[in-house]
């Protein structure tokens, strides 16, 4: 008989999905109201994630991983190399998208507050679209697999083994684990914003090394999170994420201009067109 799915697990998935969608909305509204960030900046940040990940890197890496599936299963060394490649390409694709955005469409928006707005749009789109969708797929899989009686399905031995492994994974899933996804999204938002602030320094300081610092920071974050998850479990991965989020927050505060505009005027008011004195 199929095992009964813990209702608490379903609730946790639903809460996590709602948080993945609503948290970015709240942060975007905060950036608009408190920082006066234009929709253009936030929108280009979101577009940068879509173009650098959803429409390019992710499909390409999925195809390559599928073609190499047998080799990756057979070789631990090759799998580790592949994880390094995934981490490096994530850094290169996303940071290059930030670089291109600040080079031309946002060349008149090269300020600290706009870096925050761009990063919020970038990380917010990732959370509300990609991560929420993955969580929804996880919920569907959990519900469907828990109700399946594998003995009644016309599966070949390999497919049956895969289905059994998936059911075992769902059965071992602790009810509160989906909630960690919401916490991770908060940490990821700090990390995404901090990398945007680093890339901005490439233009404010006229030094290419800041772009490579951002690529390195991104690569190291992804790689250590995956390694921690594989070696010590999900809680260890979240601990690593927390460390990098705190480092990201430190970078954000470190690069904050010493002198900001005297007041931030809500968008739409008569004086909201005053130029930001930190603009270059």
Domain membership flag for residue 27: yes
The parent domain of residue 212 ranges over: 7-149+159-254
Which tens digit of pLDDT belongs to each residue from 53-98?
A: 999 999 999 999 999 999 999 999 999 999 999 999 999 999 999 9
Domain membership flag for residue 90: yes
Q: Which pLDDT band holds residue 270 (cuts at 50, 70, 90)?
A: very low
Domain membership flag for residue 268: no
Please name the residue ranges forming H helices in 37-156: 39-49, 58-67, 69-74, 76-103, 112-125, 132-147
pLDDT surpasses 80 at 261? no
- Pick the closest to residue 217 from 126, 128, 87 (CA basis): 87
* Mean pLDDT computed over 38-45: 98
pLDDT surpasses 70 at 277? no
- Pick the closest to residue 202 from 85, 106, 62, 75 (CA basis): 106
pLDDT surpasses 70 at 279? no
- The pLDDT assigned to 263 comes to 40
Cβ neighbours around 71 below 10 Å, total? 11
- The pLDDT assigned to 91 comes to 98
- The pLDDT assigned to 3 comes to 59
Q: What angle do CA 240, 241, 245 make, to 5 degrees?
A: 120
Secondary structure class of 278 (helix, strand, coil): coil
pLDDT surpasses 60 at 185? yes
- Pick the closest to residue 151 from 139, 163, 138, 166 (CA basis): 163
pLDDT surpasses 60 at 152? yes
pLDDT surpasses 70 at 274? no
Q: State how many domains the chain has.
A: 1
Q: Which pLDDT band holds residue 180 (cuts at 50, 70, 90)?
A: very high
DSSP 126: I
Q: Residue 271: CA atoms inside 13 Å, Cβ hemisphere, count? A: 6
- The pLDDT assigned to 5 comes to 85
Q: What is the pTM of this model?
A: 0.88
Domain membership flag for residue 19: yes
Q: Which pLDDT band holds residue 271 (cuts at 50, 70, 90)?
A: very low
pLDDT surpasses 60 at 10? yes
Region of residue 207 (left: phi > 0; alpha: psi -120 to 50; beta: else): beta
Reported as type and span, the H/E element at residue 27 is helix 7-30
pLDDT surpasses 60 at 273? no
Burial of 93 (0-12, 13-18, 19+ CB in 10 A): buried
**Mean pLDDT of all residues belonging to the chain:** 90
Domain membership flag for residue 28: yes
- Pick the closest to residue 194 from 252, 246, 244 (CA basis): 252
Is residue 211 within 8 A of residue 92, CB to CB? The reply is: no
- The pLDDT assigned to 272 comes to 40
Reported for 226-232, long-range contacts at CB under 8 A and 24+ positions apart, including other chains, are: 226/83, 226/86, 226/87, 227/83
Which tens digit of pLDDT belongs to each residue from 114-138?
A: 999 999 999 999 999 999 999 999 9
Is residue 243 within 8 A of residue 187, CB to CB? The reply is: no
- Percentage of the chain surpassing pLDDT 90? 78
- The pLDDT assigned to 264 comes to 43
- The pLDDT assigned to 153 comes to 75
pLDDT surpasses 60 at 179? yes
| DSSP of 150-167 | GGGS---HHHHHHHHHHH
- Pick the closest to residue 212 from 95, 111, 97, 114 (CA basis): 95
Domain membership flag for residue 272: no
Domain membership flag for residue 164: yes
């Amino acid at each position: 008989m199929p095992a009964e799915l813990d209702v608490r697990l379903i609730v946790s998935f639903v809460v996590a999905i709602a948080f993945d969608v609503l948290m970015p909305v709240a942060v975007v509204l905060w950036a608009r109201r408190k920082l006066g960030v234009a929709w253009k900046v936030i929108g280009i940040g979101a577009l940068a994630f879509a173009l650098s990940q959803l429409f390019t890197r992710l499909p390409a890496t999925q195809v390559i991983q599928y073609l190499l599936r047998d080799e990756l299963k057979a070789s631990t060394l090759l799998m580790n190399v592949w994880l390094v490649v995934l981490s490096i390409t994530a850094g290169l694709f996303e940071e290059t998208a930030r670089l291109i955005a600040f080079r031309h469409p946002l060349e008149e928006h090269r300020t600290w507050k706009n870096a925050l707005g761009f990063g919020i749009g970038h990380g917010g789109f990732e959370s509300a679209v990609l991560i929420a969708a993955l969580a929804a797929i996880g919920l569907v899989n959990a519900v469907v697999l828990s109700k399946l009686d594998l003995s009644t399905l016309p599966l070949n031995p390999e497919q049956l083994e895969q289905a059994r492994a998936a059911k075992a994974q769902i059965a071992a899933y602790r009810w509160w684990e989906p909630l960690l996804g919401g916490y991770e999204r908060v940490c990821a938002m700090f990390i995404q914003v901090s990398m945007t602030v680093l890339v901005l320094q490439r233009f404010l300081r006229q030094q290419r090394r800041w772009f490579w610092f951002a690529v390195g920071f991104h690569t190291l974050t992804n790689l250590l999170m995956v390694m921690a998850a594989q070696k010590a479990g999900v809680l260890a991965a979240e601990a690593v994420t927390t460390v990098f989020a705190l480092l990201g927050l430190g970078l954000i505060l470190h690069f904050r201009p010493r002198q900001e505009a005297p007041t931030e005027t809500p968008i739409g008011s008569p004086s909201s067109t005053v130029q930001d004195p930190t603009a270059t």
